[in-house]
Amino acid sequence: MDYRVVVLRAGKIELPHGWKITECEYVYYHLLYLLSGSISILIGDRTAELLDGHYVIIPPNMRHEVLEATVSGTELWEVKFDVLDTYLSDRLLLSGLPFRDNHYVHTALKHVVEYWSSAEPRQRMDVDYLLSAMLLSVSSDNSDRRVSNYSSFVDTSILDEIPKKIIAYIEENHIEKFSLSVMARDMGYNRNYLCSVFKQGTGITIVDYLNYVRVRRAAECFFYNGSDVLNVCKKVGFKSTGHFSRTFKKLTGISPGLYRKTLSSDRHENRASHNAFDTYFLSRAPTIGQAMNTMQCFGDYFDNAK
């Protein structure tokens, strides 16, 4: 593989409560990966909300600013890099922000942060190769999905345009207070019409899909970060732990507390749990129905493992 990327700097940033990263603008790419906590980042005139496991890739000469950390223990990985060919730089510009990790990114960036300053030339070359491969993979993935009103969770290619747009809207806005009326206003359609078209095209209601996205994101938060139930509940858009627990159990068959308890404290080293998570969550389901069924199978696995 040719050199496509040169890592200039990589490291970990800790933001105590109330701290922020003031406005900056670089002549190179700037990647920020949120390890824990939640932050807002202003990129140009657009604000992106980041949860743990989300990351942004900011192109050169773009003003950006990490707004005040609202929780203690906010941690990020930071990677500054140059891109040496136009193909990859064009793909990165098409990709959109933010990205959601699929665990491969976490593994790759952990290696980059650990070895970018190695005294061994071979290890520094490996870091450049690894980041090149990661960026090619995620930029191709997200560019292709963007063209087809992409979903991170399901293949929308067989759906009509309006259900695709509803799915994209939900996945982008699920952590906010959700309102069918507001969604209809934002999309420029009648609320009842949207509900009818979505149910006809997918077999489930809009609220059903909203709950699916929130519960799946919650499962990811528990797996990757070991967060407690209350924090995960808030991070994925639920307003009460009671509603969260009932919805989580309805879709997976197990309670969020039991799921979290079943995960070993060294969950990243637990090969069986890791394989199960990869099997159920690291590829998009062919249909929404199969996505919902996969969620139940995932719950069954962890219920049997308790």
Structural domain ending residue among the three candidates 147, 178, 209 = 147
In a domain, 156, yes or no: no
Model confidence, pTM: 0.55
Give yes or no: residues 132 and 11 share one domain. yes
Range of the structural domain that residue 248 is part of? 161-305
Q: How many distinct structural domains can be found in the chain?
A: 2
Structural domain ending residue among the three candidates 114, 147, 180 = 147
Q: Are 173 and 165 in contact (CB under 8 A)?
A: no
DSSP characters for 194-237? HHHHHHHHHSS-HHHHHHHHHHHHHHHHHHHH---HHHHHHHTT
Q: Each residue of 232-285: pLDDT tens digit? A: 898 899 999 999 999 999 999 889 988 888 775 444 445 555 555 555 665 567
Cβ of 8: how many Cβ atoms within 10 Å?
A: 14
- Dig out the tokens for 108 from the structure: 């790759």
Examine the pLDDT at 113 and tell me if it is beyond 90. yes
Look at residue 210 in the predicted model and tell me its pLDDT.
96
Give yes or no: residues 198 and 139 share one domain. no
In a domain, 154, yes or no: no
Q: 170 or 98: whose pLDDT is higher?
A: 170
32 beta partners: 56, 78
